[in-house]
Amino acid sequence: MEKNNIKNRINNIFKKEKLLIGVVHLNPLPGSPSYKGESLDEIFDLALKDTKCYAQENFHGVIIENHGDIPFNKPEDIGPETVAFMSVITNKLREKYKHLIFGINILANAAIPAISVAMATNSSFIRVNQYTNAYIANEGFLEGLAAKITRYRKWIGADSISIFADVHVKHGSHAIVSDRSIEELTKDNEFFGADVLVATGQRTADSAEIEELTKIKSATHLPVLIGSGISKDNINNYYQKCDGFIIASSLKFDGYWKNSVDLERIKSFNKILNLLK
């Protein structure tokens, strides 16, 4: 795709504000170890409550993620049941909140199933945790999928779906590429067609390092989001250094990702955020 088209697509997503995206961590889906036989409607109702909180407090969008499916499968082992449930749930949410931007993340690194869900639900983007190069994850060895993702996206006519790519993905070791700088890893993601880059910490809810974020921003013309660890206590440190935020854990009861979204925590977060605008 031509760079002008990519730029226009990003502008359409970002508009004039810093992008603020919440994450809906779905309860365990069929096929995962912690699934206890809940119906699709039961899983949807919990997702709806979280989405409602984000929408009520003027978030720009949400990522629908199968975070309850731990331990995660490798991409090639993701079953059709995951794609089916996530497609139905996302579509039902989009029907209720048409003004929100929707994104899909299927763990671990299942970008092609994620594009399928995004295409079926008219979602705007997918998040890909390992887009280029390779690393040792909790799931084992994971390769970058840029070539497969971009070809599959073209094949199914899903060019409108943007790719949000992590530069230095959490929950793993980067020993394989330890001889390459953050700047080079950043350039790899841009060179292979990512639309938006994501900076994260070492684990879910860990803050991104300011130094690493600065290196990523300096090495790309693409928008850069903070993808973990943002809270009302530290957003002041990051606000001027990035183009937006993906946030979840700090907005949940007790700040724990497995819990439901706490509307009062979102309100407290937004009070701080509004002071920075």
pLDDT score of 13: 67
Q: Please give the structure tokens belonging to residue 193.
A: 């067609």
Angle at 148 between CA 66 and CA 140, to 5 degrees: 55
Task: Give 1's pLDDT tier (boundaries 50, 70, 90).
Answer: very low
Write the burial class of residue 33 (CB in 10 Å: 0-12 exposed, 13-18 middle, 19+ buried): exposed
Task: Give 201's pLDDT tier (boundaries 50, 70, 90).
Answer: low
CATH code for residues 17-136+153-276: 3.20.20.70
Task: Give 10's pLDDT tier (boundaries 50, 70, 90).
Answer: low
State pLDDT tens for residues 143-175. Answer: 899 999 999 999 999 999 999 999 987 556 667
Of 35, 5, 4, 51, residue with least CA distance to 159: 5
Task: Give 35's pLDDT tier (boundaries 50, 70, 90).
Answer: very high
pLDDT score of 179: 86
Question: CA-CA distance, 58 to 47, in Å (whole number)?
Answer: 17
Q: Of the ranges 43-57, 74-88, 126-140, which one carries the lowest mean pLDDT score?
A: 126-140
Question: CA-CA distance, 237 to 7, in Å (whole number)?
Answer: 27
State pLDDT tens for residues 214-246. Answer: 999 999 999 999 998 899 999 999 999 999 999
pLDDT score of 2: 46
Task: Give 140's pLDDT tier (boundaries 50, 70, 90).
Answer: confident
pTM, 2 dp: 0.93
